[in-house]
Amino acid sequence: MSDVVEKLIEALGAEKVLLGEDVRERHYHIWHMGEGLNAKAVTLPMNTEDVSTICKICSDYNQSIIVFGGLTNLVGSTETTGEEVVISMERLNQIEEIDEVSRTMTVQSGVILQNIQEAAADKELLFPLNFGAKGSAQIGGCISTNAGGLRVLRFGMTRSLVLGVEAVLMDGKVINSLKKIIKDNSAYDLKQIFVGSEGTLGIVTKAVLKLVEAPKSRNSAFLAFDDYQKLVAFMKFIDRGLAGALSGFEVIWRASYEVMTGPNAHNRPPIPHGFKYYVLVESLGADQDTDRQKLQDLIEETILNDNAKDAVIAHTESDLSWFWTIREDVKILAEQGNVDHHFDVSAPINELGDYVDKAEAALNALEGVHAAYPFGHLADGNIHFIVAKDHNEKPLRNAINDIVYNPLTELKGSVSAEHGIGLHKKKYLPLCRTEEEITLMKTLKITFDPKGLLNPGKVLDV
């Protein structure tokens, strides 16, 4: 047993430090549960003080740390080499306060996103952050990656929903900025340094989240288009027509839709196959019947103007569940090959139609690729690809990455719209960040973590 592990056991107690077989019974990602975790130890802090103690001891012993949340990341952020001490935030799982007047919720970083949503709903409030992994993703991970999801169009990314944070630095110092206020221009907004930093600058232990009044209505519709420009025109038309109530605008390309609603899928198609684009819209409002009628009128006008080719509106809760399960159940796309390769990129909306067409064709032409499946949050310029392929050998992996990433520099896009950089995208960061920006990022990293012990090797080489 190493000196640092002995010191951690002495400070925390043996029940909070896992070793040996107890470590190997764990995993570094929910998709790799059978592989076993390779780490020096796993620590299980119960509170901020425990996290501070772990960081201080590890700093004193020059011991690297990696933080585990819900383990749903897609960029290798929680991959280990065996030399790290893992801090698992699973026991920091308390909702400490819901302030209905300030419309805020104070939570520990290990709280599951879905639990936050449900606790807000119990108070007739809404925490708008929403995506497929809500049942396992922890809010600390959402904050550290600045998670996006299905309602960014209306409510913004995670950073727009965080009013305050508490974070622990590598030397054990606690930075406490747990404020409930929206307006605070008192110099630098330090909480934003930790949002999106992927655990490389500090460890978020608590947060004050912004809530909104729960909507009284939720309506959705599926539409089919064959022309990208008409699709974009509809996006502007429906957003203007709903006057701020549009909360979701998802686009599924033909190949993806036909698998997601095909013979082997869990869901039948609400609109027949054969169209190029399938659009799923959501509105949140104040009156179910009135809002549904408004959405129906706008869609009928779109059909009459020969923009959309077909459409269907959700009339029941069952319909809503059906429509959104199609969009969220992307696992079936990954199952089309022996190996799946995921992307989340962003570019200006007017460029995305041509970009996706070219990338999809080039990917499908690669030997070893079964098919490329595009879909995403078009209204905020974010497209996902899942590439189903035969194997994961490096030449094929690099060829796929080049097709998806290289055009983004000219388009002034991003190699990561919402999943972060982690380990897997690190070499592609210069495609969307200037040398000066990366130098400034490294300066921040060295300032906050001069020994390079927090999530080492991720995001930047420092």
**pTM flag (> 0.85):** yes
Amino acid at residue number 195: V
Nearest of 88, 346, 77 to residue 196 by alpha carbon:
77
Residue 319 tokens read as 């319909």
Query: What is the dihedral angle through the alpha carbons of 310, 316, 319, 321, rounded to the nearest 10 degrees?
Result: 140
The architecture that CATH gives domain 3-90 is: 2-Layer Sandwich (3.30)
Architecture of domain 217-328: 2-Layer Sandwich (3.30)
User: In this structure, are residues 131 and 147 in contact, taking their beta carbons and an 8 Å threshold?
Assistant: yes
Q: What is the DSSP string of 214-228?
A: PPSEEEEEEEEES-H
Where do the structural domains in the chain lie, given as residue ranges? 3-90, 95-213, 217-328, 331-417+431-441
Using DSSP's 3-state secondary structure scheme, residue 297 falls into helix
Domains 3-90 and 331-417+431-441 share a fold: no
Each residue's pLDDT expressed in tens, for the chain with a length of 462 residues:
689 999 999 999 999 999 999 999 999 988 888 889 999 999 999 999 999 999 999 999 999 999 999 998 889 999 999 999 999 999 999 999 999 999 999 999 999 999 999 999 999 999 999 998 999 999 999 999 999 999 999 999 999 999 999 999 999 999 999 999 999 999 999 999 999 999 999 999 999 999 999 999 999 999 999 999 999 999 999 999 999 999 999 999 999 999 999 998 989 999 999 999 999 999 999 999 999 999 999 999 999 988 999 999 999 999 999 999 999 989 999 999 999 999 999 999 999 999 999 999 999 999 999 999 999 999 999 999 999 999 999 999 999 999 999 999 999 999 999 999 999 999 999 999 999 999 999 999 999 999 999 999 999 998
The SS3 of residue 114 is helix
Encoded tokens for 48 = 């901020």
SS3 of residue 9 by DSSP: helix
CA torsion angle for 124, 130, 135, 137 (degrees, to 10)? -120
Which CATH code for domain 95-213?
3.30.465.10
Please say whether the structural domain 331-417+431-441 has been given the CATH code 3.40.50.2000.
no
